[in-house]
Amino acid sequence: MVISIAFLFCTLFARLFYLQIIQGSSLSTKAAEQWYRDLPLKAARGVIYDANGKILAENKDVYSVYVRPNAVTDIYEVASALSQNLGLSFDKLYDRISTERVSEITVKKAVDKETGERLRKLNLDGVYFTIDSKRNYPEGNLLSQIIGFTNIDSVGQSGLEGYYNKYLTGVDGFAYTETDIKGVEIDGAATKYVPGIPGCNITLTIDANIQSFAESAVMDAKVEWKSKSASMIVMDCTSGAIVAAAITPSYDLNDIPRDDINLLNALTKNTLIVDVYEPGSTFKTFTGAIALENGVSEKAMHYCKGYHMVDGQRIRCWKTIGHGSQSLTDGFKNSCNVVFMDLALSLGTERLYDGLQAFGFGQKTKVDFYGESAGIIMNESSVKTVDLARIGFGQAIAVTPLQMVTAFSAVVNGGTLYEPYFVESIDSYDGRNVFTHQKKVVRQVISEQTSEKMRDYLSVVVSEGSGKKAQVEGYSVGGKTGTAQKYGSSGVAQGKYVSSFIGAAPIDDPKYVVLMIVDEPGGYVYYGSMTATPYAGRVYAKIADYLGVSVQILAPTIEMPELTDVSLADAINIINELGLYYELVGEGTKVVSTIPVAGSMIPEGDVVLLRLG
């Protein structure tokens, strides 16, 4: 009896030894997990700067308010104080605190600092606070589709906030508090703090000044032409850095329409990268560059009789009465479709496609942004001669605005295609450099000589042709206008145009490539030369001013003459005498109306629109 009892006790002691000594540390670790309540200390998210160090996205201290129902001594007091200060329903709150069977209720997040501190001073039992940081965008609407936003927990959702979320996010810290099983803090227990590590700061290639020029340009264009939208992208063509990217309509990053998902999707979409548009005549730049690169004679003359017969199909030039005999320079200046059809046809599908592919069309640019589109380009094998001719002057192809500026940069910068990018550098919170962008050359597309010739042609377009309104006194601009009919699901969308201008300045040593797009201008004026070009001019003027290049924007003004019911030939003579340029709409021999109307004061050298009937 004695022995068996002793044996049993020894067995139990051995079991105790196993639990307390051998398993001790693992058991006590597990036990410790339930002894502490840890409240996360949100690590600050990285700051986003523009190229000059201006803050585009930062953090603001906000409070999160929690209630541990078991620690609440006076539910009425707590519920009334919280509901009054946080604008919540008293009944709902009272109900939650008294009935919810959870140890902790999150009452409200992102409570502003002032309210949080006021509540804190009330010293309510069972109410706890953590200080979080909320994203704050000092510039509001500026660059909203590019920067993107975070969710309420500061996780990047869209735009650069989303793409660079991994870098911007810090490592959260914790506050450990000793509590009982219900989460009630134990008297005299110390709270241990493990501080968080802030996220990395990001410096963009965006220059907030130029961005603001672009923003006001697109807003003006949208209002003035009652367009569906307007957008502009500015690229440093010597590196591929995106200097400005503006889209209107836009939204305030500090007041995101999270409740309306359709509106949110529409407003937050970065159409410059994820959407395609019809480039129209601006695309002639590439046909021209590829033709020159392939040794097509510059001297050859073309004849425009208002259309071109291709495989028995009549493809019209925009000027139905024809441009007559045209050199390549004339072709650019007058944006003659026939000239570029000729070029495309003489190149042939293979050479044109090789060139377009070398410029990056039909491929993603690999920009540091989610959701990029590759553009829409016909399958090479299914390109018929008619298609070839159309592509030559910018039809039957759709590109992203970003592809356009990237390729155009290569045309003017000496022929080098760079990978476009938004982020210049990433630095850790304590100033250590994590990443610095190195220029990424994709390939040499055309030779320096071809590029130089292209700069000349583009220069002429602005100085003498359809791009006149982009002229800036003392700052040489070169570029190309474009007007394209939009395509819907059932072919050409009648009356819907997308008008654009793409240019580079200073044209002899290009730095900034600007693409201005006015999408579906309202009314019957839709030409790129009228609707898009002037805004590019304004932006260039501001850039020149900003860079300290001396400019005289004020040109002498003249009065618009009365041309209604005047024959086309006479009207052209009058316009030429006044030093104005013209574009024609419709068919006929007589002018039925003009824009601007007679009597308006317009700068010398302006382009006017003549409607024929």
Partner 1 sequence: MNKQAKGGKFDRALCIVTVCLVLFGIVMVYSASMYSAEINYGSEYYFMYKQMLGAVLGFAAIGLMSIIDYHFLEKWKYVILAISIILLVLVFIPGIGIESYGAKRWINLPFFSMQASEISKFGFIVFTASYMAKNNKMMVKFKGILPVLLVGGTICVLIILEPNMSITLCMIMLMLVMLYVGGARIKHFLILAVPLALLVPILIMIEPYRLNRLMAFLDPWQSPLGEGYQLIQSFYSLGSGGLFGLGLFNSRQKYLFLPFSESDFIFSIIGEELGLMGCFFVIAAFMFMIFRSILIAQKAPDRFGCYLASGIAAIIAIQVIVNIAVVTGSIPPTGLPLPFISAGSTSLIVFCAGIGVLENISRQSHRGVLFLSSGIAQNALDKKKDKQKVKKNKK
Q: Which residues are catalytic?
A: 281
For 458, the token pair is: 């583009």
Nearer Cβ to partner 1 (27/155): 27
Instruction: Please state the closest distance from residue 4 (CB atom) to partner 1, in A.
Output: 9
Taking the complex as a whole, the smallest distance from the CB of residue 126 to partner 1 amounts, in Å, to: 14
**Contact assessment for residue 568 and residue 592, using Cβ atoms and an 8 Å cutoff:** no
Closer residue to partner 1 (CB): 53 or 188: 188
Residue 288 to residue 450: CA distance in whole angstroms: 10
Closest contact distance (angstroms) between CB of 27 and partner 1 is: 2
DSSP 8-state class, residue 169: -
Cβ-based nearer residue to partner 1, 30 or 305: 30
* Closer residue to partner 1, CB minimum distance, 125 or 562: 125
String of DSSP letters for 399-429 = B-HHHHHHHHHHHHTTSEEEPPBSEEEEE-T
Q: How far is the CB of 25 from partner 1 (least distance, A)?
A: 8
Identify which of 206, 174, 177, 197 has the alpha carbon closest to the alpha carbon of residue 189. Answer: 177
- In the bound state with partner 1, the residue whose beta carbon lies nearer, of 5 and 554, is 5
CB 345 within 8 A of CB 388: yes
Q: In whole angstroms, give the CA distance from residue 500 to residue 398.
A: 13
Q: Where are the alpha helices (DSSP H) in 243-375?
A: 261-268, 271-274, 284-293, 328-334, 337-358
Query: Among residues 24 and 596, whose Cβ is nearest to partner 1?
Result: 24
DSSP track, 347-381? HHHHHHHHHHHHTTTTS----SSTT----EE--GG
Preceding amide of 510 cis, omega within 30: no
- Binding residues for partner 1, rule: CB under 8 A, are 1-3, 5-6, 8-9, 11-13, 15-17, 19-21, 23-28, 30-32, 34-35, 178-182, 186
How far apart are the C-alpha atoms of 367 and 403, rounded to whole Å?
10
Q: How far is the CB of 180 from partner 1 (least distance, A)?
A: 4
What minimum distance in Å lies between the beta carbon of 26 and partner 1? Answer: 7
Output the DSSP codes for 505-558.
ESTTS--EEEEEEEES-SSS---HHHHTHHHHHHHHHHHHHHHT------PPEE
Q: In angstroms, what is the minimal distance from the CB of 10 to partner 1?
A: 9
Q: Give the pairing type, strands 607-612 and 581-585.
A: parallel
CA distances from 504 to 228, 275, 358, 407 (A): 26, 23, 20, 12
Which CB atom, from 5 or from 261, has the smaller least distance to partner 1?
Answer: 5
